[in-house]
Structure 1
Amino acid sequence: MSDQYVLETRSLVKEFKGFVAVDDVNLQIQKGHIHALIGPNGAGKTTVFNLLTKFLIPTRGQILFKGEDITPMKSAAIARKGMVRSFQISAVFPHMTALENIRVALQSFEGSSFSFWKSGASLNRLNKRAMELLDSVGLTEFANTMTVELAYGRKRALELATTLAMEPEILLLDEPTQGMGTEDVDRVVELVRKAAEGRTVLMVEHNLSVVSKLCDRITVLAQGSVLTEGDYEAVSADPRVREVYMGTGSSGERGAVTAEEAAQ
């Protein structure tokens, strides 16, 4: 493995009772890049994410993080090493304030979730860092707002902040803009770009407009296998990508798939 790759998979396979959901997938995620996994529904994107974070066990193959084989490790151990995942569905506590949600994440990261006897000074230290994280995602004014009262886009921003509280070296984002309107999408694009400073991001994203704005490299999956890989210009012009996204057929009558088309 080259030092430039923070995450690799080697011949990764996942079978479910004879059905091959992920078939010989080889990924190389370069340090400092925003890398996207894209593909039509059922392509295997989320299954790959589940394998990387050990919510599923690979049938065959290896997963390497900074050169270390983490295939046998459990989810919690992988997160402690610095590979942290944010889910499709907002995973914050709805009946806690935004500040309280961040503090829970910080306490969990520090291993002090149940240390109720800690001093007030310790809690104040957590509050300071929690406010810094809220500020980083533009939620300072909502610190004392109950999460259930936040708009959907702000809930996703809060979820990103709780993920950043884990101080990830590589951040895995699963459909960060799913279900959002244009204004919220634009906000999240900027948040992801900011979150990527000084770290690596691997993201699953259907909206190719988002991918075109953010990603250094794109891997296209189809039927569980890697179809092609490259930058946005190369991938969007590939006739095989047009085929799996748009059903153009072999005649190639349509032009390159555009961000606007694929975002529909």
Structure 2
Amino acid sequence: MGEYALEAQGLTKTFGGFNAVTDVNLKVRRGSIHALIGPNGAGKTTCFNLLTKTLTPTSGKVFLDGRDITRLRSAQVARQGLVRSFQISATFPHLTCLENVRVALQSNHGTAYKFWRSLKAVSALNERAHELLGQVGLGHQAHTPATELSYGKKRALEIATTLALDPKVMLLDEPTAGMGHEDIEPITDLIRKVSDGRTILIVEHNLSVVSSLCERITVLQHGEVLCEGAYAEVSNDPEVITAYMGGIDE
């Protein structure tokens, strides 16, 4: 395999006469955690949608493990190992943690819509579901309904359901958004833990999280790449400081 797990070349998306993303080039090194940051309206979400094929690019190409996936549909891309967390992995509030993860496992095993299968057949997935819950710190809450979890633990459950899809590359869209300080550190530690053997691209506004997790950072502004580099380099770039109107929220 090549050095990069995920690449975008000249990625552009136009809505009418508006360029939401323009000529974005991105290389995410295999086994790394790479951040995509920028002020509101910079095009981060559109870029994520293009990478996961929720949107079709107006021009440009996307490569996963060196294979051109530009023309594939989002479901095909997910089956090849590129999974966007917190979108695909939305949880069912009235199912237990175990049941939520088991549904995701059924999807990965191609049995998600075979509702006539016996409970005994589905229960064969319980061992793996318990293992995944243990990985995200929810092993003791397997039978707790998702609706009873704290916000931070719901995010942990979403990561577990994403892991059930066996991703090679995970795209995490603002994983700590809306969290209190007490939840941010556990989720940051969890992302670091599950990154072992995987590649992660993350959109995150909390730059304390970015600085502690990410090896490389790409900054977007007005849908274009403003700069790229390590955190120390990017955070001291005059253009980045100006883009954030005088500073970056920590």
TM-score bin, normalised by smaller chain: over 0.9
**Counterpart in 1 of 2:60?**
61
Instruction: Give the TM-score normalised by structure 1.
Output: 0.91
User: What is the identity, as a one-letter code, of the residue corresponding to 1:94?
Assistant: P
Instruction: Tell me whether 1:17 sits opposite 2:4 in the alignment.
Output: no
How far residue 123 of structure 1 moved from its aligned partner, in angstroms, is: 3.0
How far residue 91 of structure 1 moved from its aligned partner, in angstroms, is: 1.5
Mapping for residues 133-144 of structure 1, pairs under 5 Å: 133-144=132-143
Mapping for residues 68-147 of structure 1, pairs under 5 Å: 68-87=67-86, 91-116=90-115, 118=117, 122-147=121-146
The structure-2 alpha-carbon separation of the partners of 1:71 and 1:193, relative to structure 1 and needing over 3 Å to count, comes to same
1:221 and 1:163 map into 2 onto residues whose CA distance is 26
How far residue 183 of structure 1 moved from its aligned partner, in angstroms, is: 1.2
How far residue 110 of structure 1 moved from its aligned partner, in angstroms, is: 0.4
Unaligned 5+ segments in structure 2 are none
How far residue 120 of structure 1 moved from its aligned partner, in angstroms, is: 6.0
Instruction: Work out whether residues 12 and 60 of structure 1, in 8 Å CA contact, stay in contact via their aligned partners in 2.
Output: yes
1:47 and 1:92 map into 2 onto residues whose CA distance is 23
2:124 and 2:214 map into 1 onto residues whose CA distance is 35
**Counterpart in 2 of 1:219?**
218
Mapping for residues 1-264 of structure 1, pairs under 5 Å: 3-87=2-86, 91-116=90-115, 118=117, 122-245=121-244, 247-248=245-246, 257=247, 261-263=248-250
How far residue 86 of structure 1 moved from its aligned partner, in angstroms, is: 0.9
User: What is the identity, as a one-letter code, of the residue corresponding to 2:50?
Assistant: L
2:200 and 2:143 map into 1 onto residues whose CA distance is 29
How far residue 113 of structure 1 moved from its aligned partner, in angstroms, is: 1.4
How far residue 89 of structure 1 moved from its aligned partner, in angstroms, is: 10
Instruction: Work out whether residues 43 and 220 of structure 2, in 8 Å CA contact, stay in contact via their aligned partners in 1.
Output: yes
1:132 and 1:47 map into 2 onto residues whose CA distance is 34
User: What is the identity, as a one-letter code, of the residue corresponding to 2:65?
Assistant: K
**Deviation per residue, 1:64-83 (Å, 9 max, x gap):** 11111101000000000000
Instruction: Work out whether residues 88 and 162 of structure 2, in 8 Å CA contact, stay in contact via their aligned partners in 1.
Output: no
**Deviation per residue, 1:143-189 (Å, 9 max, x gap):** 11111111110000000000000000000000000000111110100
Aligned identity (percent) is 58
1:52 and 1:117 map into 2 onto residues whose CA distance is 35
| 3-state SS in 2 of match to 1:51 | helix
The structure-2 alpha-carbon separation of the partners of 1:74 and 1:89, relative to structure 1 and needing over 3 Å to count, comes to closer
1:223 and 1:171 map into 2 onto residues whose CA distance is 24
Q: Which moved more, 1:119-128 or 1:162-171?
A: 119-128
Instruction: Work out whether residues 9 and 25 of structure 2, in 8 Å CA contact, stay in contact via their aligned partners in 1.
Output: yes
Instruction: Work out whether residues 14 and 21 of structure 2, in 8 Å CA contact, stay in contact via their aligned partners in 1.
Output: yes
The structure-2 alpha-carbon separation of the partners of 1:120 and 1:87, relative to structure 1 and needing over 3 Å to count, comes to closer
1:122 and 1:26 map into 2 onto residues whose CA distance is 46
Instruction: Give the TM-score normalised by structure 2.
Output: 0.96
2:169 and 2:179 map into 1 onto residues whose CA distance is 24
User: What is the identity, as a one-letter code, of the residue corresponding to 1:262?
Assistant: D
The structure-2 alpha-carbon separation of the partners of 1:116 and 1:135, relative to structure 1 and needing over 3 Å to count, comes to same
The structure-2 alpha-carbon separation of the partners of 1:208 and 1:88, relative to structure 1 and needing over 3 Å to count, comes to farther
| 3-state SS in 2 of match to 1:213 | helix
**Deviation per residue, 1:75-130 (Å, 9 max, x gap):** 00000000000137981000100000000000000001133455666433310000
The structure-2 alpha-carbon separation of the partners of 1:230 and 1:244, relative to structure 1 and needing over 3 Å to count, comes to same
Instruction: Work out whether residues 6 and 64 of structure 2, in 8 Å CA contact, stay in contact via their aligned partners in 1.
Output: yes
**Cα RMSD over matched residues?**
1.6
Unaligned 5+ segments in structure 1 are 249-256
Q: Which moved more, 1:50-59 or 1:110-119?
A: 110-119
